[in-house]
A = this chain, B = another copy of it.
């Protein structure tokens, strides 16, 4: 039964506020009323549009969950003369979940004319549990129900008969991961298509990740290839978090033609009601759908600006405080903050010690001028020296009668860390609290990986906007911004990346960080995003395939490491840094996730030290023999 008559649908791409069902429900009800006035047949809202998705263990709060569930009544009441589809938690108080608590399902509801349709609630079948997802922790899956009741899997999937004028169409309802079934043994879309489905509706709460939308388009094409059918993907906008990570919900709700081509696409990061008419054999859309052409850098830029703006929006004022060193990380951070919040809300502090060059100090000031932000300079030299003096002149006495004395000696690296902590914890935290501003962290992903930062020094702040960008990506994004409007002084690109914490890191002498970013960025990416082990890296190196596999020029690698021993020494050094410095990430601030794997709740780690597989050790011994 194809779509014989025009079907007017509205996809409500709303900004869903996690944990605030009252706000979300009010918005949904208001949109249903507007949709009726517009003469729509069906209005579709995203997954978990009442409670939001990333709530952590607030899903265990039974009063909250019931409160969310009961908002269904108001929504159902609002559906006079229109069909509405929305996501909410479904509960069954007669059954327990496997944690002993009230049984909960991640569900899609469908109502018409003041009533739920018969069996008008679909439970999510495929529950994601990778990356930031914890669905099985909170929800019981339809698959498990099938097993409990000894149903065949097919029995789970049945389209709804939805009234459109005097006709009916068969609408198949699925939730988010149900369409991403390649790695599962159940394929919900295929099951629905066996049963005369005219329209598949996927309600999602799907965070943006790099190149995800293109991937989605190709998945839809492959799903409907043998059985053409309209396909609606409804996603929300907004940000949601699980503390350690902030995820961006880009919307990009899409209506696909029966051949899987794009029929109409909603904008990125904008609340929008995507209205269209489905009618087989006709294409009533007057023009080609406006697809976001944003690619890579621009997508990342847009996501970060949106994420920063939304993160700040819950604070009483929108002020940001950050350190401005004259290096590229703080330059990018400041520029993003200005673009997100306006220059009038950004307060930057340059905090030189005697190791900071005029080059970087001048660059910082020039950047502040270009951006038109609030700026000050507070030297840390005197307080740093006093701290060093005070610590080194302190003496521990053992109070066991022996009166044994312990002197305290600060090594070079200890003094470097004192400078960082003086900046971060004494000056920045103090100023931020006085201004009632949000203290922003400037760390990038490479330094986060290797722990090339000081706890309570650089590793602090309420938000880490660029900590999911490798150092080379920081440069690239800064260049992308400058290409539109040059604000970041060229010096900042030209000087070597340097912490400027000692004479060994003098930028005017071309000295900088002990990291070879063009290669080490890719190595970190291999560890974090490709989940590779030194064994994998060493095998690739031996086979001459490392460069192409990790997307780094092989010549660079061969140039940087003259011998296999040098390569192995560096690999082990970096693997060790990566593993050991997790202790800093435990205490690191929230990161806006923009890569395929961000540090934080997205990549769950344990402090288990360093391990090399037996294959690695064998291979290494062979090479060094």
Interface, chain A (partner B; CB < 8 A): 17-22, 52, 54-58, 60-64, 66-67, 70, 96-101, 126, 128-130, 134, 136-137, 143-144, 146-148, 153, 182-185, 240-244, 314, 343-344, 347, 365, 368-369, 371-376, 378, 383, 386-387, 390-391, 394-401, 404, 406, 408-411, 413-414, 417-418, 421-422, 424-427, 429-431, 433-435, 455-457, 460, 462, 531-533, 535-536, 582-583, 585-590, 601, 603-609, 611, 613-616
Q: Residue A244 contacts which of B52, B400, B414, B586 (CB distance < 8 angstroms)?
A: B586
With a cutoff of 8 Å between Cβ atoms, the chain B residues found around residue A383 in the complex are: 383, 386-387, 390
Q: Is the beta-carbon distance between B613 and A63 smaller than 8 angstroms? A: yes
A611–chain B nearest beta-carbon distance, Å: 5
With a cutoff of 8 Å between Cβ atoms, the chain B residues found around residue A399 in the complex are: 365, 368-369, 371-375
Given that A376-B394, A435-B408 are contacting pairs, would A67 and B456 also be in contact in the complex, using a CB cutoff of 8 Å? Answer: no
The complex places the Cα of A58 from the Cα of B144 at a distance, in Å, of 27
A-B pairs with beta carbons under 8 Å apart, 12 shown: A52-B608, A58-B606, A97-B183, A98-B128, A146-B147, A343-B398, A374-B397, A376-B394, A376-B397, A408-B434, A410-B433, A418-B426
Q: Is the beta-carbon distance between A241 and B606 smaller than 8 angstroms? A: yes
With a cutoff of 8 Å between Cβ atoms, the chain B residues found around residue A55 in the complex are: 606, 608
The complex places the Cα of A241 from the Cα of B64 at a distance, in Å, of 30
Instruction: Report the copy number of this chain in the oligomer.
Output: 2
Q: Is the beta-carbon distance between B434 and A411 smaller than 8 angstroms? A: yes
Closest 7 CB pairs of A and B: A372-B400, A19-B608, A425-B425, A67-B613, A374-B396, A63-B533, A99-B130
Q: Residue A456 contacts which of B182, B344, B396, B429 (CB distance < 8 angstroms)?
A: B429
10 further interface pairs, Cβ-Cβ under 8 Å (given A21-B611, A129-B137, A425-B426) = A17-B608, A57-B604, A62-B531, A98-B130, A243-B606, A373-B398, A374-B396, A387-B430, A414-B430, A417-B430
Q: Residue A58 contacts which of B401, B536, B608 (CB distance < 8 angstroms)?
A: B608
Q: Is the beta-carbon distance between B396 and A241 smaller than 8 angstroms? A: no
With a cutoff of 8 Å between Cβ atoms, the chain B residues found around residue A134 in the complex are: 129, 134, 137, 604
Q: Is the beta-carbon distance between B434 and A64 smaller than 8 angstroms? A: no
Q: Is the beta-carbon distance between A616 and B129 smaller than 8 angstroms? A: no
- Please indicate which of the listed interface residues A20, A409, A426, A536 has the most CB atoms of chain B within 10 Å of its own CB: A426
Q: Residue A615 contacts which of B60, B67, B130, B586 (CB distance < 8 angstroms)?
A: B67
Given that A147-B146, A408-B431, A614-B22 are contacting pairs, would A394 and B372 also be in contact in the complex, using a CB cutoff of 8 Å? Answer: no
Q: Is the beta-carbon distance between A56 and B605 smaller than 8 angstroms? A: yes
A534–chain B nearest beta-carbon distance, Å: 8
Q: Is the beta-carbon distance between A395 and B376 smaller than 8 angstroms? A: yes
With a cutoff of 8 Å between Cβ atoms, the chain B residues found around residue A430 in the complex are: 387, 391, 410, 414, 417-418, 421
With a cutoff of 8 Å between Cβ atoms, the chain B residues found around residue A62 in the complex are: 531, 533
A382–chain B nearest beta-carbon distance, Å: 8
With a cutoff of 8 Å between Cβ atoms, the chain B residues found around residue A240 in the complex are: 606
With a cutoff of 8 Å between Cβ atoms, the chain B residues found around residue A376 in the complex are: 394-397
The complex places the Cα of A243 from the Cα of B243 at a distance, in Å, of 14
A32–chain B nearest beta-carbon distance, Å: 19
The complex places the Cα of A22 from the Cα of B609 at a distance, in Å, of 13
The complex places the Cα of A426 from the Cα of B391 at a distance, in Å, of 9
Q: Residue A606 contacts which of B19, B369, B406, B586 (CB distance < 8 angstroms)?
A: B19
Q: Is the beta-carbon distance between A421 and B426 smaller than 8 angstroms? A: yes
Q: Residue A587 contacts which of B314, B394, B435, B587 (CB distance < 8 angstroms)?
A: B587
Q: Is the beta-carbon distance between A137 and B143 smaller than 8 angstroms? A: no
Given that A372-B401, A422-B426, A434-B391 are contacting pairs, would A100 and B182 also be in contact in the complex, using a CB cutoff of 8 Å? Answer: yes
Q: Is the beta-carbon distance between A64 and B533 smaller than 8 angstroms? A: yes
Q: Is the beta-carbon distance between B531 and A61 smaller than 8 angstroms? A: yes
Q: Is the beta-carbon distance between B429 and A417 smaller than 8 angstroms? A: yes
A612–chain B nearest beta-carbon distance, Å: 9
A107–chain B nearest beta-carbon distance, Å: 19
The complex places the Cα of A578 from the Cα of B55 at a distance, in Å, of 15
A50–chain B nearest beta-carbon distance, Å: 12
Q: Is the beta-carbon distance between A243 and B19 smaller than 8 angstroms? A: no
The complex places the Cα of A376 from the Cα of B435 at a distance, in Å, of 35
The complex places the Cα of A383 from the Cα of B128 at a distance, in Å, of 52
The complex places the Cα of A70 from the Cα of B62 at a distance, in Å, of 45
A506–chain B nearest beta-carbon distance, Å: 23
Q: Is the beta-carbon distance between A20 and B129 smaller than 8 angstroms? A: no
For A590, give the chain B residue with the smallest CB separation: B586
The complex places the Cα of A300 from the Cα of B378 at a distance, in Å, of 47
A58–chain B nearest beta-carbon distance, Å: 7
Q: Is the beta-carbon distance between B56 and A242 smaller than 8 angstroms? A: no
With a cutoff of 8 Å between Cβ atoms, the chain B residues found around residue A60 in the complex are: 531
A576–chain B nearest beta-carbon distance, Å: 13
With a cutoff of 8 Å between Cβ atoms, the chain B residues found around residue A136 in the complex are: 129, 136
For A130, give the chain B residue with the smallest CB separation: B99
A242–chain B nearest beta-carbon distance, Å: 5
Q: Residue A243 contacts which of B143, B406, B586 (CB distance < 8 angstroms)?
A: B586
A535–chain B nearest beta-carbon distance, Å: 4
Q: Is the beta-carbon distance between B18 and A54 smaller than 8 angstroms? A: no
The complex places the Cα of A182 from the Cα of B421 at a distance, in Å, of 51
With a cutoff of 8 Å between Cβ atoms, the chain B residues found around residue A613 in the complex are: 63-64, 66-67
Given that A130-B137, A374-B406 are contacting pairs, would A99 and B243 also be in contact in the complex, using a CB cutoff of 8 Å? Answer: no
Q: Is the beta-carbon distance between B241 and A98 smaller than 8 angstroms? A: no
Q: Is the beta-carbon distance between A606 and B386 smaller than 8 angstroms? A: no
Given that A398-B374, A408-B434, A430-B418 are contacting pairs, would A606 and B148 also be in contact in the complex, using a CB cutoff of 8 Å? Answer: no
With a cutoff of 8 Å between Cβ atoms, the chain B residues found around residue A241 in the complex are: 606-608
With a cutoff of 8 Å between Cβ atoms, the chain B residues found around residue A344 in the complex are: 398
